[in-house]
Every structure is written in structure tokens, then in C-alpha cells.
Structure 1
Amino acid sequence: MLTLYHNPRCSKSREALNLLETQGVDFRIHRYLETPLSLDELQSLAARLDDDTLALVRTNEMEWKALRLAAPSEQQCLEAIAQHPRLMQRPLLDRGDRAVIGRPPEAILSLLDEA
């Protein structure tokens, strides 16, 4: 089952949602700001990404800059997201065995092509 980690206030996230609906794909929406992921869930999600863990972080956000981490470890990145869910990059599509950050939103379609 596909899971879209979604922030309805984000235009890119809304574009990804629209792409999935247009494709007629069965998926569920996880509004991660309303229901944040635990550190364990974030570790599991990060392991399924092709990108490094820092790609999962929205580094331009005020909360991230306040941490002043020059060379953050994977653990520091995940702990920051766990404490500040707004830091998680979006949109993100998770297939259970692989996850893709939707930057650009069309990148999520790669998971559909492999299915």
C-alpha cells in the first residue's frame, strides 16, 4: 500500500496528491503534521529512501537553522524531524520497500513505474 506523507498547505504536496488521484492509484494519506512519525518510524522511512537522510530535512526552516548543526549526523537529522515534524521534506511517497521525495512532485511516479 502506498502512503503519501502530505501537508495540505504545501503546493508541491497538493500537486503530488493530484498526480496520484489522476493515476487512479490506491493510496493512503498520512498528514504527518497532525500525526507525527516517531523516531523509529523516521529511521525506517529514511532507510527506504534513495537519498541520504539530510535530504529528508527542510533545511531552510527556522527550526533547523536554530539547531546550528554544521555537519549533522543521520541521527541528529531524524531527531530534529521527530521534535519538529514541520522539518520533514514533502511530499514523500512510501511503498513499504522504497520511498521517494516528491521534489519535483513527478518524482513520486517512479514508484508507480516500478510496481
Structure 2
Amino acid sequence: MAIKILHNPRCSKSRATLQLLEEQKIQPEVILYLDRTFSLPELKALMGKLGIEDPRLMMRTKDDLYKLLGLDQLDPAIPEQKEKLLQAIVDHSALLERPIVINDNQARIGRPPENVLEIL
């Protein structure tokens, strides 16, 4: 399976992670995640690959939109509220943390970029 990167070319961490992959002689499939919509099953699968239960760990929680939507008031321990967090990413892909590198059934957030080396 090809390595993929959920990438935003305007983000310095995303660019640095892509460069790190290229330095490792890896040409990942680049997915410009701001240009697409994720489904709930895709996001749940991504959480599994990241090894997380809390959607906030893959969200841009410091983003103004996160607070504007009142997502900081939700408790992911409550299943309905966890679903609302995921639905917010479906509705606003900009809330997804970047970059995320996916290698088969594992994924890592490239903050710092070196985190992704664990799954190569």
C-alpha cells in the first residue's frame, strides 16, 4: 500500500513533513484534504490508524472555527458528542490536524514532522 499524506501546502509543518518523506526516498500520494470531504467511517478509520479514541487529538483545537462552533464545550466521552466532533470535521475539513501520514493501517500526525518516521 502506498504511503499517503493529508497535506496543506500552505502549512510549514505539512511542507516539512512532505520534504522529510522525500528525503527518505518516499513519494507519497498527496491528498489535499482541504479540497475534499471525509465521511464519518473514514474519520473513524483514521482514528483507529492513529490509535486514538478522542477525535480532538486529530483536530485543530486552537483554530478559531473550533471555538466558534462550540466544539470546546463537547465531551468526547459521551458518544453523541464524540459523533458531533467527527461530524464537524466532515462539515469543515479545515478542522483536521495537518499533516497526517498514513502507511497501511498506521498513521501519525507530523507535529513535529519526525513523528511520521515511526510508521515508515
- Both structures adopt the same fold (TM-score exceeding 0.5): yes
Runs (4+) of structure 1 exceeding 6 A deviation are none
Partner of 1:71: 74
Q: How many residues align?
A: 112
Q: C-alpha displacement at 1:46, in angstroms?
A: 1.1
Let me know the Cα RMSD of the aligned residues: 1.3
Which string of whole-angstrom CA distances, capped at 9 and with x for unpartnered residues, describes residues 19-62 of structure 1? 00111014201100012322221111111113432111101112
SS in 2 for 1:33: helix
| Aligned residues of 2:36 and 2:93 also touching (Cα < 8 A) | no
Cα distance in 2 between the residues matched to 1:72 and 1:38:
21
1:87-98 alignment runs, 5 A limit = 87-98=95-106
Name which of structure 1's ranges 28-37 and 44-53 shifts more when overlaid on structure 2: 44-53
Q: TM-score, normalised by structure 1?
A: 0.89
| 2:56 corresponds to which of 54, 57, 69 | 54
| Aligned residues of 2:74 and 2:85 also touching (Cα < 8 A) | no
Partner of 1:33: 34
Q: What residue ranges of structure 1 are gaps of 5+ in the alignment?
A: none
Q: What residue ranges of structure 2 are gaps of 5+ in the alignment?
A: 77-81
Partner of 1:108: 116
Partner of 1:45: 46
Match for 1:97: what amino acid? N
Name which of structure 1's ranges 72-81 and 8-17 shifts more when overlaid on structure 2: 72-81
Cα distance in 2 between the residues matched to 1:36 and 1:109:
27
Cα distance in 1 between the residues matched to 2:115 and 2:89:
22
Partner of 2:10: 9
